[in-house]
Amino acid sequence: MDKEEQRGLETLVAWQKAVAFTIRVHREVLPKLPPEEKYALAIQLRRAVQSVPANIAEGYGRYTFKDSSHFYYIARGSLEEVYTYLVLAHRLNYLDDALFHSLQDELRTLRHVLNGYLKFLRKQRRS
C-alpha cells in the first residue's frame, strides 16, 4: 500500500474507531484478567479484538465490492465475538459494571459505524 492509500485508510472512521477500541481493550481489559485466563479468555479476546481493525484494513485494500465487503463482514463477526468475551469477563467478575458498560457503549458505536459503512458500500455498488 502506498502512502496515498495508507492515508485513505487512516481517514476511514470505522478503522479509526476499531483501532482505538482495540487499544482500549489491551490497556483496560487484558490487564484485569487473572493469570489463569492468560491462555484462554485473554488470548481469545486479544485475537478477536485485533481482528476487527485488521479485517477493516484488508477490506479497504481490496478492489472489488465482493472482496472488500467479505472482510468487513468478518470484522463485524469478530466484533460480536469480542462482545461475547467481554460479557464473559464481566459475568466472571473480572470487569466492573462501569468499565463493562462503557466498553459496551463503545462497541455499539463501532458496530453502528461499521454497519453504516457496509450500507454505504452497497448503495455505491448499485449506482
Give the model confidence (pLDDT) of 2-43 as tens digits. 555 557 899 999 999 999 999 999 999 999 999 999 889 999
Cell of 35: 493469570
Show the CA angle centred on residue 125, arms to residues 123 and 127, nearest 5°.
75
Indicate the DSSP class of residue 1: -
Q: How far is CA 120 from the centre of its chain?
A: 18
Cβ-contact 50, 22 below 8 angstroms: yes
Domain boundary assignment for the chain: 12-126
Is domain 12-126 annotated with CATH 1.20.1440.60?
A: yes
Flag the least confident range among 24-33, 81-90, 114-123.
114-123
Would you place residue 126 in the very low, low, confident or very high pLDDT band (cuts 50, 70, 90)? confident
93 DSSP 8-state letter: T
